[in-house]
Chain A
Amino acid sequence: EPEVTQTPSHQVTQMGQEVILRCVPISNHLYFYWYRQILGQKVEFLVSFYNNEISEKSEIFDDQFSVERPDGSNFTLKIRSTKLEDSAMYFCASRLTVSPGGYTFGSGTRLTVV
């Protein structure tokens, strides 16, 4: 079964450093998303991406965040200057169409900011 692949699985970074989280969505999917989940809490929407541009973003997705699809396969989330509160599990998700059907989530990257 096709998978969404995320790397790395775990990243530890110092506060103020930049991090790039990488995702390879399912190859024929058209819609891409980043979500995050602080330990023990709900899954929070960050940003959606379609047709090589951001289609929606949440209040969490401020100027410190950016997304790119640098080639036909990768989808990246960059955090420019990490803060302690950015520590969370970051999930990439993709889907083929907007309706019907759910998202396929990757296994996530656990980001720890120290």
Chain B
Amino acid sequence: GQQVMQIPQYQHVQEGEDFTTYCNSSTTLSNIQWYKQRPGGHPVFLIQLVKSGEVKKQKRLTFQFGEAKKNSSLHITATQTTDVGTYFCAAPLRGQAGTALIFGKGTTLSVSS
């Protein structure tokens, strides 16, 4: 079935360093979503990207959707301890908008001060 690959699985940074997680699909995606899950918590929706080459920013977070709509990235500038958690990308199960989401395995970010 369709898979969404996400790397790295874990990343440890010093507070103030940047962080990036990458998401790849073998098929063209209609959209991609990003979620954050704090330790012991539930996934929380961050953003949805729809257009080819789209770039969206939320404060220190920058989200990109590739030109071919097969990959995406989340970049955090100057990490803070509040950024700790697992970041998941998620894409429509059958590549079409409106279907259920399939999640990547996530990148777990730890930040030391």
Contacts and interface: CB of A to CB of B under 8 A. Distances in A.
Co-complex (A, B): yes
Interface of A: 33, 35, 41-45, 48, 56, 58-59, 91, 98-108
Contact of A45 (B46, B48, B101, B106): B101
B35 A102 contact: yes
25 contacts: A33-B100, A35-B103, A42-B88, A43-B35, A43-B43, A43-B88, A43-B90, A44-B103, A45-B101, A48-B100, A56-B99, A58-B100, A59-B1, A98-B98, A99-B31, A99-B50, A99-B97, A100-B48, A102-B46, A102-B47, A105-B42, A105-B44, A106-B42, A107-B41, A107-B42
Interface string B80-111: 00000000101001000111111111100000
A42 B106 CA distance: 7
B64 interface: no
Contacts of A98: 97-98
Contacts of B90: 43
B79 interface: no
Interface of B: 1, 31, 33, 35, 37, 41-48, 50, 88, 90, 93, 97-106
Contacts of B105: 41-42
A91 B37 CA distance: 12
Contacts of A33: 100
B102 A101 contact: no
Contacts of A101: 45, 48
A94 to B, nearest CB: 12
A104 B44 CA distance: 7
Contacts of A44: 103
A89 to B, nearest CB: 8
